[in-house]
Structure 1
Amino acid sequence: MPEQSPNELARELTKRRATLGEVIPVLSSAGRQATSDALLLAIPGFQRLYTERWDPGLPELEALATMPVGSFGNAYARYMEHYRLSPDFFPIRARLGADATPTQYAVHRLNKCHDFIHVLGAYETSDEDEVAVQSFVFGMAPVALAVFLSEAEVHPDIRQARYKHLRDIYAGRIQTEDFERGAAAMSLLGERFETLLEMPLGLLRQRLGITPRAPGLVGRAGENSCGGFTTLPFFTPALAT
């Protein structure tokens, strides 16, 4: 019997209600990463990003905030301000050298674009929504997420109080609805988000195949265990579609 593909195995783990921590030994092996490399290179746009090692800087948030209301860039800037966030929060080593594999490059892109994904998927920063957004990423790129989790788990900084939010997600169970949303939006991995900031957020979600969240999940409040700034939810039903 042929070996299950990473995507098939990820769907099975989701059906079993596995935790995010449980996916690490199953999907981060060298063999799984080699299969992941081939799958990633087949995603439209990803191979060129990988060949270029696309890694542009971001405009200042102040500049993004001047973009038209309703644009991706404006929503991203307001989201970051709302939660007092800064880019590149997670402790993970960048893999951009000539020896970086496609999966390692995908780990870097998913880490760097993490808050873009929060905005695109209408996820808050609460502990509950952090598990949800990681479930979304698991649907998009299961092996890359497993590698990210395995590397973050042993990073020397992860024991800092500011990363309790990250440490807690390992015990979180993969959320089926969010996994399926991510699986349907796999094309995100081939996108140059940094060039799409002026695009209307709703149209961008449609282009990327990101389905709306269930109404009861939009704008739900919750605690951020990192001790980060907790406030009223950012997303409203209108902003989530």
Structure 2
Amino acid sequence: MSDLSIQNLHVSYGSVNAVRGVSFEVHEGEIVTLIGANGAGKTTMLRAISGLEKAKEGSILYGGADLTKLPAHKIVEQGIVHIPEGRRIFSNLTVYDNLIMGAHLRKDTGEVKADLEDCFDIFPRLKERSGQLGGTLSGGEQQMLAIARGIMTHGKTMLLDEPSMGLAPLVVEEIFEVIKRINRRGTTILLVEQNANIALKNADRAYVLETGTIVKDGSAKDLLHDPSIRAAYLGC
């Protein structure tokens, strides 16, 4: 059984059909990426899965349970965490308080401290800046904080929306090394990424979205070397 199964999903904004009959699966332990141009429906897909947008039609199954009628906070309780585009950290809270906010739905208070230390092990810079306000961090550090806050939810599946956006190439490499490290520890990753090259190099499988529909899918390695994908998304 797949970890996450999307079947015939339709999502609309008024009269605009942003997602049209999309079906795909993410298996436990995978890194799966959705690639496509701006406006293809990638972010809308993630927002629908995490309950921030409501599906007009279709189903979103997670571990066999239908998420389509659940509010967003209940979906977090099911084990899905969404790291949104633009990071959306609490700029007026300290790094430490941002991380603790990530754990606010948890009841296992004894394990929260262990997860906090785990985040500081993965992101030593956050430990150094734990007393700093989130808004004073660099863009790369804010992305690290957003991912670490996601780890603090103790979710099993992480939805990552444009983690490389606005970051220098060296920082992007660092962020993707962390994403792979998190995945190796057992977290399933569904990745939306404008940088198709780095997404395909780090994912197991990929789906290509165009105007709200999936037009191609396969192993990330195969799509990375697909001439039509290279011409459309990789600039070569």
Normalising by the residue count of structure 1, what TM-score does the alignment of the two structures yield?
Answer: 0.28
If asked which structure has higher relative contact order (CA below 8 Å, sep 6+), I would say 1
Name the structure with the higher strand share: 2
Normalising by the residue count of structure 2, what TM-score does the alignment of the two structures yield?
Answer: 0.28
Name the structure with the higher helix share: 1
